[in-house]
Amino acid sequence: MSGEVTSFNIVVFFKAVEYGDIMEESENIENWHDDVSEEDDEHYPIDQYDITASPNDFNLSTIFDFIESGVVKIPGFQRNFVWDIKRASRLIESLIIGLPVPQIFLYEEGRNSFLVIDGQQRLMSVYYFMKERFPRKEKRAELRRIFDEYGNIPDEILYDDSYFKKFKLSFPSDPPNRFKGLTYSGLGDYKAAFDLRPIRNVIVRQMSPKDDDSAVYEIFNRLNTGGINLKPQEIRTSMYHSEFYDMLYRLNLRKEWRRLLGLSEPDIHNKDVEFLLRGFALLIDGDKYSPSMLKFLSTFSKKAKAYSSKKISYYESLFDSFLDACSLLSDRALYSSGNRFSVTLFESVFIASCKPAIANNVPSIQGKIVSDSVSELKQNHSFQEAAMKNTTGSKNVSTRLSLAQKLIRVG
C-alpha cells in the first residue's frame, strides 16, 4: 500500500453529515452501575509520538475482498450496524453515479491487518450490498452477539431469511429513482463501474516508540464514529483484540453473570466487559497496580494478547467456578446502597474468592460464597470510604482488596 505519508501531532477530522457514521443510542438502562472511572477523562499527550497518515484509494471490489478475507477488521465496539436500508441505498447510489463520499480511516496494527477507526457503516453497507443481504432491524442485537462469538457472520446466518432480507435498493417513491429495486447482480452496465469505484482510505500508523502504542488509544478517541467520544473499553477492544478478549466476550454472555449485573443484554459501550477485565487484571497483576486505571488496563490487555490457550482456559474455568460460587447470592448482592451494580464490590469479591484457587494452582473455587460476608464487606466503613472517592487510587484499591480477602468467606 503506497501513498504520500504525512506526519501529524493532532488529528482534526470534519465529517460529512449525510454519510457520516452514527452510533445508535443504547437501549440498555442508563446509569446501571455506580462506579464512574476516572479513566474516562484521561488523554495521552499525542504530540510525544511519531504518527503518520497515508492516503490510499482502494476500489470497492478490493475493499470487499479485504473485509471478506479479514484483512480489514470491524472492531468489537463497531459491530452494531445501525443504518436503515434507505440510508444505505443512498450511499450505494452515490457510489454508482460517482458522487464523492467521506474517506475511511483505518489503523494498521500489523502486516495485512487493519482495524476500522471510522467508516464501519459505509464499509458494511457496501459489503452487504455486494452480498445482496441486509440485516433485519429486530435481529441486530442478536447479530452482534453472533459477531462477538464468531468474529464474523457465518454464511448460514447471512443467508437465513429470519436474520437477513434481500438487499434491493430502496428510495422514496417521489421522485422516481431508476435504481430502485436493483440488486448488486442486477446493476447491469453499472456493475463494472461500481466494482472499480475508488474510496479514499487513510491508513494511520504509529511509527515510534515501537514498544508503546498509547498514542493509538488517543487516535481512536479522536477519530471516532459520528463525533461521539468512544468509551475506554471500546477503544481497548479495538486495539488489543485477542483470544483473552474472546474469552471475556464469552463470559459476558453467561446467564449467571448477567443476573449479577442485573442487565439482560450486553452493554453497547462494553462497560460490562470492562468490569470483567478489571477483575482479571487486578487478580493477576494487582500487586503491580499504580494509577492510572486506563493505562493499567491497557497495559494488561496488551500483555494478555500473548496468553496461551491453556492459560486462557484456566481463567475461564476459574470464572465459571466463581459464578457457581455466587449461585446462593441474591440478584442484587453486588449492588451498592444506591441500588446499582458496583464494580469495586464485584472485583473485591471476585479476587478474594479466586486468590486461594490460584495459590493452590487449582482451576475452581471450592464452595459457595457466604452471603453474610458480602453484606459485611459492603457495610464496612473503611471499604465504603475506599469505594466512594478516588476509587482508582493505589491506596484505595489496595484497601478494598485487602479488606475483601479478610472478610469474604467461602464455605
User: Is residue 37 very low, low, confident or very high in pLDDT (cuts 50, 70, 90)?
Assistant: low
What tens digit of pLDDT does each residue of 163-209 get? 999 999 999 887 889 999 999 999 999 999 999 999 999 998 877 76
225 in a structural domain: no
Q: Which residues neighbour 49 within 8 Å (Cβ) at sequence distance 6 or greater?
A: 206, 208, 209, 214, 215
Same domain, 322 and 375: yes
Q: Which residue has the cell 506526519?
A: 7
Q: Three-state SS for 97?
A: helix
Same domain, 261 and 395: yes
Q: Report yes or no: 1 and 60 within 8 Å, Cβ to Cβ.
A: no
- By DSSP bridging, strand 198-208 and strand 50-59 are antiparallel
What tens digit of pLDDT does each residue of 125-171 get? 999 999 999 999 888 777 877 776 676 788 999 999 999 999 999 99
As given in the structure block, the three cell numbers for residue 337 are 446502597
- Return the H-helix or E-strand segment holding 108: strand 104-110
What tens digit of pLDDT does each residue of 316-359 get? 999 999 999 999 999 999 998 878 999 999 999 999 999 999 99
Look at the chain and report how many structural domains it folds into: 2
Residue 232 has a pLDDT of 79
Judged against a pLDDT cut of 70, whether residue 28 lies above it is answered with: no
Same domain, 278 and 324: yes
Q: Of 187, 208, 229, which residue constitutes the final position of a domain?
A: 208
- Can you give the pTM of this predicted structure? 0.64
306, 102, 322, 111: which is closest to 202 by C-alpha? 102
Same domain, 11 and 125: yes
Same domain, 262 and 328: yes
277 in a structural domain: yes
218 in a structural domain: no
Distances (CA, A) of 95 to 184, 343, 374, 410: 12, 46, 59, 62
- What value does the mean pLDDT take over residues 79-87? 82
Distance (Å, rounded) from C-alpha 401 to C-alpha 286? 9
What tens digit of pLDDT does each residue of 365-400 get? 999 999 999 999 999 999 999 998 889 999 999 999
Distance (Å, rounded) from C-alpha 117 to C-alpha 362? 40
97 in a structural domain: yes
pLDDT mean across residues, the chain: 83
Same domain, 244 and 185: no
User: Is residue 213 very low, low, confident or very high in pLDDT (cuts 50, 70, 90)?
Assistant: low
What tens digit of pLDDT does each residue of 270-328 get? 899 999 999 999 999 999 999 989 889 989 999 999 999 999 999 999 999 999 999 99
Judged against a pLDDT cut of 80, whether residue 14 lies above it is answered with: no
Same domain, 199 and 245: no
139 in a structural domain: no
156 in a structural domain: no
In the chain, % of residues over pLDDT 90: 56
Cα dihedral 141, 146, 152, 155 sign:
negative
Residue 46 vs residue 310, higher pLDDT: 310
154 in a structural domain: no
Residue 17 has a pLDDT of 32
Same domain, 321 and 193: no
Distance (Å, rounded) from C-alpha 115 to C-alpha 110? 10
Same domain, 190 and 257: no
Same domain, 202 and 245: no
Which residues constitute the domain of residue 355? 240-407
Residue 44 has a pLDDT of 52
Same domain, 188 and 246: no
216 in a structural domain: no
Same domain, 204 and 244: no
